[in-house]
């Protein structure tokens, strides 16, 4: 009798262990089906960089045609987003330097929520052929993303800051009325930035920045259209305009730049 009980007990234990092993094997089979061992998940790089080369035509205080170049970069990590760019324009006339200008910008954003963020920005112009040798602006404040989708972006920024401007005394004759004093003043800055992915290979962009201080008010606008040629090469057409409410006598209040560039993205 005891022998029969032991046989039945051994059979019950064997069935229990077989059932347990079967249950443990089920999730293993499903996991293998959902995530093949050879498949690798690609993580997007936080870096975006670009180089632009092309043709530039200037109008306003100067009228010229020449080549230009631009370097730009963007880094995004967690709540932080940082961007920087540098543009350089140089023109020679009969072997002599005729026009030269550098434009640089840098900004860092910190996300506070789904739409709001803090920003800090620096923008500057170093030129020998405009109303000012130097025109630098430092600002910090709040930003708000009205829309932020893959196809459309609309951002608004506003905040106080500081402006430094050095007048161009060398390019203006001694009989002209000029502003001999260097500008160092608090300012208030507002900016609107928008981009629209109209088609898969066509993107439109527009920005408008207003800087207001006691000496003058400046308005910088930019319109651009970018057409992708390949995954990493695009054709970009842009028009920028810089306006000052007060400039030395004899100089135009607005300078415009039209450019056609090839953009190489990395």
C-alpha to C-alpha distance for 92 and 79, rounded to whole angstroms: 45
Where is pLDDT greater, at 105 or 2? 105
pLDDT value for 248: 72
| Class of 47-265 in CATH | mainly beta
C-alpha to C-alpha distance for 157 and 127, rounded to whole angstroms: 27
Where is pLDDT greater, at 108 or 215? 108
pLDDT digits (tens, 9 = 90+) for 104-124: 999 999 999 999 999 999 998
- pLDDT exceeds 80 at position 13: no
Give the least confident one: 23-27, 72-76, 182-186: 23-27
What are the sequence ranges of the domains in the chain?
Answer: 1-38, 47-265
Place of tokens 């234990």: 13
With bands split at pLDDT 50, 70 and 90, how would you rate the model's confidence at 207? very high
Where is pLDDT greater, at 64 or 260? 260
Q: Which residues are within 8 A (CB) of 166 and not within 5 positions of it... i.e. 6 or more apart? A: 132, 133, 134, 182, 183
Where is pLDDT greater, at 37 or 107? 107
Q: What are phi and psi of 79, to 5 degrees?
A: -85, -5
The total of other beta-carbon atoms located within 10 Å of residue 263's CB is 20
DSSP tally for the chain: helices H, then strands E? 1, 12
| Angle at alpha carbon of residue 108, lines to 105 and 110, rounded to 5° | 160
Structure tokens at 109: 């954003």
Calculate the average pLDDT of the chain.
81
> Are the beta carbons of 120 and 137 closer than 8 angstroms?
no
The total of other beta-carbon atoms located within 10 Å of residue 195's CB is 18
Query: Strand, helix or coil at 101?
Result: strand
pLDDT digits (tens, 9 = 90+) for 150-195: 899 999 999 999 999 887 776 554 433 456 678 899 999 999 999 9
> Are the beta carbons of 168 and 130 closer than 8 angstroms?
yes
By percentage, how much of the chain surpasses pLDDT 90? 47
Q: What are phi and psi of 170, to 5 degrees?
A: -75, -30
pTM of this structure: 0.76
pLDDT value for 65: 76
- pLDDT exceeds 70 at position 19: no
Q: Which one-letter DSSP state was computed for residue 251?
A: S
pLDDT value for 105: 94
The total of other beta-carbon atoms located within 10 Å of residue 123's CB is 22
pLDDT value for 17: 44
- pLDDT exceeds 80 at position 197: yes
């Amino acid at each position: 009798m005891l022998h029969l009980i032991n046989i039945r007990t051994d059979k019950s234990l064997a069935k229990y262990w077989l059932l347990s092993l079967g249950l443990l094997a089920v999730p293993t089979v499903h996991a293998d089906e959902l995530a093949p061992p050879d498949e690798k998940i690609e993580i997007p790089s936080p870096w975006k960089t670009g180089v632009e080369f092309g043709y530039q035509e200037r109008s306003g205080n100067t009228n010229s045609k020449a080549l230009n170049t631009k370097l730009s970069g963007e880094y995004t990590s967690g709540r932080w987003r940082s961007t920087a760019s540098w543009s350089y324009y140089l023109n020679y006339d009969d072997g002599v330097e005729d026009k030269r200008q550098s434009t640089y910008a840098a900004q860092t954003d910190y996300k506070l929520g789904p739409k709001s963020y803090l920003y800090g920005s620096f923008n500057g112009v170093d030129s020998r052929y405009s109303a000012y040798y130097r025109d630098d602006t430092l600002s910090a404040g709040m930003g708000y993303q009205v829309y932020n989708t893959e196809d459309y972006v609309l951002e608004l920024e506003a905040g106080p800051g500081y402006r430094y401007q050095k007048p161009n005394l060398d390019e203006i004759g001694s009989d002209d009325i000029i502003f001999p004093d260097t500008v160092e003043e608090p300012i208030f800055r507002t900016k609107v930035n928008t981009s629209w992915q109209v088609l898969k290979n066509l993107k439109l962009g527009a920005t408008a920045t207003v800087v207001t201080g006691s000496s003058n008010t400046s308005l910088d606008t930019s319109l651009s259209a970018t057409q992708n040629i390949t995954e990493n090469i695009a054709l970009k057409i842009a028009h920028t305009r810089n306006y000052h409410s007060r400039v030395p006598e004899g100089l135009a209040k607005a300078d415009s730049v039209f450019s056609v560039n090839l953009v190489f993205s990395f």
